Structure 1
Amino acid sequence: MNKAPVPAPDFAPSSAAFTAAGLPYPLLVEEIAQLLQDPTVQVPPRLVQALAGGGSLFVMPAMDAHCAITKLITFTPANSSRGLPSIQGDVLVFDVATGQRRLLLDGPTVTARRTAAVSLLAAQRLAPRKDGPLLIVGAGVQGKAHLDAFAEGLGVREVWVASRSSASAAQLVRHAQGLGLVAREVTDANAALADCPLVVTCTPASGVVLSALPRDDVFIAAVGAFTPQMVELAPSLCRHIAEVGTVVVDTVDAGHEAGDLLQAGLDVARFASLADVVRQPGFSAPGPVLFKSCGWAGWDLAAARTALKAAA
């Protein structure tokens, strides 16, 4: 006698591989652009609770007409010395109509891929030159995600990597070479600015990593600093681009989160957001461009929408 089939679970496992498979960069970038034009999207302020030992707990809800999500993650900077990920947690995805849980996604994978996809969308719309070389400052999870995204979405063929850890830089260089890219480690990120029209900074943001004035045709995606106390870019660099070029923030929430810009004494509220760029065809971005990314639960919602479509 044949056994009855076992019902499929009502949600998918939160493995990194499952999550990554549901978030291909081309579809994720497209979904982010669509989300920025969706009037049903709601993103309440995120809760950031300090934890004993220097970590933080993030509770990040977001919703649209069909889908509601909450990202629950911890950020523990000290984990880098323990050999553990600095970001851990999950993204829970619910159906608005029924309240049923639809997906359970790996939080670090969502964070890495949606952050890189947001930078890629900004680069596609704003970068004066898209051919590279690409300079990546910081060779951790975000460095790898941005390398993958820019190689796939911009066609970058050459990558320079700068990191405090030569071992991490060498590992990322080998990964790039495995993708068929020309890649090398550089020890002076400031000197490399003269040769690289594409730049991503994705460090722990514990101190300034770029201070030299960049090329006039540069696009910098500054990712690491997402609190007023964090910083990657020198105030003089930020003020220079604000004076002669274009500064764009990922969301209006950057007004109280963008440490690089706040520590430069800039009025963040006067800068355009990525939503302005997407909603205005032919958005003008003269001169060097600085895209300041701080993170937003709306990006996690876009990732959930992408993963739901992939699962369907």
Structure 2
Amino acid sequence: MFDYFSLSDAIADVLRARLAGRVAAPERLAVPVPGGVLLSMPAADDTIAIVKNITVHPQNKDLPVIQGEVLVLDAATGRKLAVLDARELTARRTAAVSLLAARLLAADKRGPLLVIGAGVQARAHAAAFCQGLGVREVLVASRTRARAVALVLELGGQGIAARVADDMAAAAREASLIVTATTSREPVFPDGVRDDVFVAAVGSFTPEAAEVPISLVSRATLFVDDLPSARVEAGDFLRAGVNWERVMPLERLLDASPRLSGPVIFKTVGHAIFDLAGARHAMGERREEDARGETL
């Protein structure tokens, strides 16, 4: 199984490096295209530079919603080191960011975990939380039940106990961990959750879209992966009209132990520094496998 725990540590390292001024990463460039958006995200540290170019087409049926590549360069010379699949890198690094947040913020890390969505991000988050938190059971909910069943079977093949959540309200009440990984523009679960619930909202990344009920956002403690990006892209918070002084970025938690009570929401919209961490991790894996005479 892919090592999500070590990647979450790499995410923490790159956040510390940015705080120390050793990482450069501008806000991502978004260009509208028919049916979707083209996103371009560069980042660099003193070792490597990356450029991730992806397209996001939420209405794709026979093709992946996210497609693209990540170009990895030697920072000192500009020499091309690798071209990585952006879809896989995005899934892994997003799940690792959520895992890091859950490690720091979740009151009950054992679960059950409710995953809403049955695509690449849902699959990665289920694997990451089971590996990194010791979650014992995963509940899967999807707009299409057949896709939920398929993911349950896939997780079962990996040794993960999973079942379909046919009753969303009951599943939301049961879960101590909730991950929303959909393209929905409207809330995907009711605000009938546990008082100690941890919610990772990862699916939406536009100011018009929100997967989490406004009532829950209004009463929860709020965290984000990147504050400047969230202020313009986190529809879950923008539609709720949050006071941004209530919102704390993940990097402030790395060397602190916050005392929390009540629901916690971690909103992630993505940032190039996490792709940088993912690329560094992937290149490290490649070097290890090359040393063993294997291929990535």
TM-score range, shorter chain: over 0.9
Q: What is the distance in 1 between the residues matched to 2:265 and 2:173?
A: 16
Q: What is the distance in 1 between the residues matched to 2:25 and 2:260?
A: 27
Q: What is the distance in 2 between the residues matched to 1:133 and 1:78?
A: 30
Q: Which residue does 2:31 correspond to in 1?
A: 49
Q: Which residue does 2:231 correspond to in 1?
A: 255
Structure 2 gaps, min length 5? 288-296
Q: Which residue does 1:273 correspond to in 2?
A: 249
Q: What is the distance in 1 between the residues matched to 2:192 and 2:219?
A: 8
Q: How many residues align?
A: 283
Secondary structure (helix, strand or coil) at the match of 1:209 reads coil
* CA-CA distance at 1:268 after TM superposition: 3.1
* CA-CA distance at 1:180 after TM superposition: 2.3
Secondary structure (helix, strand or coil) at the match of 2:230 reads helix
Alignment deviations for residues 88-109 of structure 1 (CA, whole Å, 9 cap, x no partner): 0000011111110111100000
TM-score by length of 2: 0.92
Q: Which residue does 1:161 correspond to in 2?
A: 140
Q: What is the distance in 1 between the residues matched to 2:11 and 2:159?
A: 28
Counterpart selection for 1:220 from 163, 176, 199: 199
Answer yes or no: is 1:36 the counterpart of 2:18: no
Q: Which residue does 2:294 correspond to in 1?
A: none
Does the 8 Å contact 1:211/1:234 carry over to 2?
yes
* CA-CA distance at 1:269 after TM superposition: 4.8
* CA-CA distance at 1:43 after TM superposition: 1.1
Structure 1 gaps, min length 5? 1-20
Q: Which residue does 2:188 correspond to in 1?
A: 209
Does the 8 Å contact 1:213/1:240 carry over to 2?
no
Does the 8 Å contact 1:211/1:236 carry over to 2?
no
Counterpart selection for 1:71 from 52, 56, 65: 52
Does the 8 Å contact 1:255/1:269 carry over to 2?
no
Q: What is the distance in 2 between the residues matched to 1:101 and 1:284?
A: 45
Does the 8 Å contact 1:69/1:91 carry over to 2?
yes
Answer yes or no: is 1:305 the counterpart of 2:280: yes
Does the 8 Å contact 1:254/1:268 carry over to 2?
no
Secondary structure (helix, strand or coil) at the match of 1:78 reads coil
* CA-CA distance at 1:238 after TM superposition: 0.9
Q: Which residue does 1:93 correspond to in 2?
A: 72
Q: What is the distance in 1 between the residues matched to 2:15 and 2:95?
A: 16
Does the 8 Å contact 2:222/2:246 carry over to 1?
no
Secondary structure (helix, strand or coil) at the match of 1:214 reads coil
Secondary structure (helix, strand or coil) at the match of 2:121 reads helix
Secondary structure (helix, strand or coil) at the match of 1:232 reads coil
| Paired amino acid for 2:28 | R
Secondary structure (helix, strand or coil) at the match of 2:95 reads helix
Secondary structure (helix, strand or coil) at the match of 1:233 reads coil
Does the 8 Å contact 1:216/1:287 carry over to 2?
yes
Alignment deviations for residues 165-203 of structure 1 (CA, whole Å, 9 cap, x no partner): 111100111122222232211123222111110110001
Q: What is the distance in 2 between the residues matched to 1:160 and 1:206?
A: 22
TM-score by length of 1: 0.88
Secondary structure (helix, strand or coil) at the match of 1:57 reads strand
Does the 8 Å contact 1:50/1:56 carry over to 2?
yes
Q: Which residue does 1:148 correspond to in 2?
A: 127
CA change 1:75–1:269 in 2 (3 A) is farther
| Paired amino acid for 2:253 | V
Q: Which residue does 2:108 correspond to in 1?
A: 129
Q: What is the distance in 1 between the residues matched to 2:285 and 2:202?
A: 27
Alignment deviations for residues 199-226 of structure 1 (CA, whole Å, 9 cap, x no partner): 1000112222123232111110011111
Does the 8 Å contact 1:262/1:268 carry over to 2?
no
Aligned alpha-carbon RMSD (Å): 1.4
Counterpart selection for 1:60 from 38, 41, 64: 41
Larger Rg: 1
| Paired amino acid for 2:97 | V
